[in-house]
Structure 1
């Protein structure tokens, strides 16, 4: 009897490890996919650092700005995806947090321009790829 219980415990643990590995792989895959906007942290960091050269930001405001730009870039990447509304709501929430953090409002226009410029580049690439297919 104890041998059978030990075998069942081993199978259960093996199934549990397999399921958790599969869920971790799905999570990483979603994080990299265009449904979630992909990883945009490096681009957001570069944009905020460029803005910081013109108008220095405090460390707290820099973190809020990076979050705002990153969510904006993700929303632009997923513009044509079913998750676009959720990502746009995240962008609005990040903008609200930036404003509530008493961060300089004059940098918002520069961030908005950088985000929209990136979105326009993505749209041009999409249209070019569409035209090549047809």
Structure 2
């Protein structure tokens, strides 16, 4: 059984799509315990289909202006494969699970939602980008 550990959301900007994704700083409290003193953490995050995406989470050394985020390589592959757009809602979460060997580990998930042309009671319906035609 998975227990919620954290969940952060962000509306994607131009620089998130075409450069690197900058995440809300509150995520640092959840990620630092797994970083072993490094400024980065290579992780695998599953989309809604269970496909694993390699991502590199990083933080800046103390005193640098920019906040935590995902670096270009794995992030760019995800952006291109999912055809993400400015304004999409990105959701990154981590859940504590028990691995096959009985150890606790964090399972990461990524989702992206977008308002579509369909409305319900005057409000746009929001769907995962996986369900929207390109």
Taking structure 1 as the reference length, what is the TM-score of the superposition? 0.30
Query: Which one has the bigger helix percentage?
Result: 1
Q: Which has the larger radius of gyration?
A: 1
Query: Which one has the bigger strand percentage?
Result: 2
Which is bigger in relative contact order (C-alpha 8 A, separation at least 6)? 2
Taking structure 2 as the reference length, what is the TM-score of the superposition? 0.30
